[in-house]
């Protein structure tokens, strides 16, 4: 296989866009099927696996375009770049969704949280319920959703690229020391 001379920036953009648009498609399918606010655990697992695969494929693409060599810092750079681009796309989609498609989105998020709390703790008093909903209400705002979307995307990208980079790393020094 020939060296394709693809820049790390291009890999981050391509795989970040791919992951971002898959995330949008996933959310649109959930919305269309009426399961957006309470999806089955298997769907969450599926999107998690797809996300890991896309991040790892991006790192692997960089490794292959770098003659089979990969430093951990390059894996982290690629993974975080893909995650950041994907996270930005997700945040933009969420803004459009919450402001145009489903203007009551954040209220629904709090309602679902409330019903889940009441289902789990049916004997909660009004005061206990209000205290339990303090954080979900604070998180269900556009500003916090944006911050949490980017932060969670970066943390996820860091963990996956760290593990993937540790597994796939290969440097010139390893070859010459054999």
What's the whole-number mean pLDDT along residues 78-93? 97
pLDDT at 5: 62
pLDDT at 131: 84
Assess contact for 58 and 79: CB atoms under 8 A: yes
Assess contact for 171 and 71: CB atoms under 8 A: yes
Residues 169 and 70: their CA atoms lie apart, in Å, by 5
pLDDT in tens, 4-51: 568 999 999 999 999 999 999 999 999 999 999 889 999 999 999 999
pLDDT at 75: 96
Residues 87 and 94: their CA atoms lie apart, in Å, by 10
pLDDT at 63: 94
Global pTM reads 0.85
pLDDT in tens, 102-112: 999 888 888 88
Residues 32 and 111: their CA atoms lie apart, in Å, by 19
Q: Is 156 helix (H, G, I), strand (E, B) or coil?
A: helix
The better pLDDT of the pair 119, 77 is held by 77
The better pLDDT of the pair 128, 62 is held by 62
pLDDT at 34: 92
pLDDT at 114: 84
CA 119 to chain centre: 28
pLDDT, the chain, mean: 89
pLDDT in tens, 141-167: 888 989 999 999 999 999 999 999 999
pLDDT at 139: 80
CA 144 to chain centre: 16
């Amino acid at each position: 296989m020939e060296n394709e001379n693809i820049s790390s920036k291009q890999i981050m953009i391509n795989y970040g866009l791919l992951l971002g648009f898959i995330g949008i498609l996933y959310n649109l399918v959930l919305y269309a099927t009426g399961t957006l606010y309470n999806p089955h655990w298997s769907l969450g697992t599926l999107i998690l696996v797809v996300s890991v695969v896309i991040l790892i494929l991006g790192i692997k693409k960089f490794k292959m375009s770098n003659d089979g060599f990969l430093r951990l810092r390059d894996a982290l750079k690629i993974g975080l770049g893909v995650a950041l681009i994907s996270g930005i796309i997700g945040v933009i989609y969420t803004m459009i969704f919450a402001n145009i498609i489903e203007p009551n989105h954040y209220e629904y998020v709090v309602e679902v949280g409330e019903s889940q709390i009441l289902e789990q703790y049916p004997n909660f008093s009004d005061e206990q319920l209000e205290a339990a909903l303090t954080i979900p209400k604070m998180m269900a705002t556009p500003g916090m959703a944006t911050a949490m979307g980017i932060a969670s995307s970066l943390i996820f990208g860091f963990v996956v690229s760290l593990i993937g980079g540790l597994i796939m790393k290969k440097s010139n020094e390893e070859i010459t020391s054999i």
